Amino acid sequence: MIQLVNHNDEKVAESILSIQLPAYKIEADLIGFDGIPQLLDTVENIKGSKERFLGKLDGSKLVGFLSYEGTDELIDICRLVVDPNHFRKGIASELLSYLLNVYAYEKKIIVSTGAKNIPAITLYERHNFKKLEDVEIEPDFYITQLTYERKKI
């Protein structure tokens, strides 16, 4: 089940962080960059975040989440994270589909990921995101920016 989760709650924030840190460590190793800001998050950072968190639950256990910030016209995906013990089960795709179909109808969506994070880029492209550009944010480290815009009928 996917639902909004209350990241302001201490236990929920702890669950988010317990998934986020090992998942982003794997991404850091994959892209060769350990400066991912989410690797420095604490429970207090999560609790104080202005992002909205969609959680994928397996029973009562959080196994993945997507966070975003939004306006009436735009959604900026901030995090899409799956517990490494649940990789390759379609959870990231399920969370992304849920966002696209429930929260983002007729909105533009943007997301950024490490340019070397081929699994993430492939996931977004499978969901009809289009690559905008690669941006160098540190010497020899690039992020890929992607966008999604559902055509209005």
**Could you report the per-residue pLDDT of 79-97, keeping only the tens digit for each?**
999 999 999 999 999 999 9
pLDDT at 37: 87
The two structure tokens encoding residue 2: 């996917």
User: If you average pLDDT over residues 126-136, what whole number do you get?
Assistant: 96
In the CATH hierarchy, which top-level class contains the domain 2-149?
Answer: alpha beta
CA angle 102, 80, 17 (to 5 degrees): 120
pLDDT at 153: 52
- On the question of pLDDT at 22 being above 80, the answer is yes
User: If you average pLDDT over residues 7-24, what whole number do you get?
Assistant: 97
- Strands laid side by side in the 141-149 sheet: 2-5, 52-58, 61-70, 74-82, 108-114, 141-149, 130-138
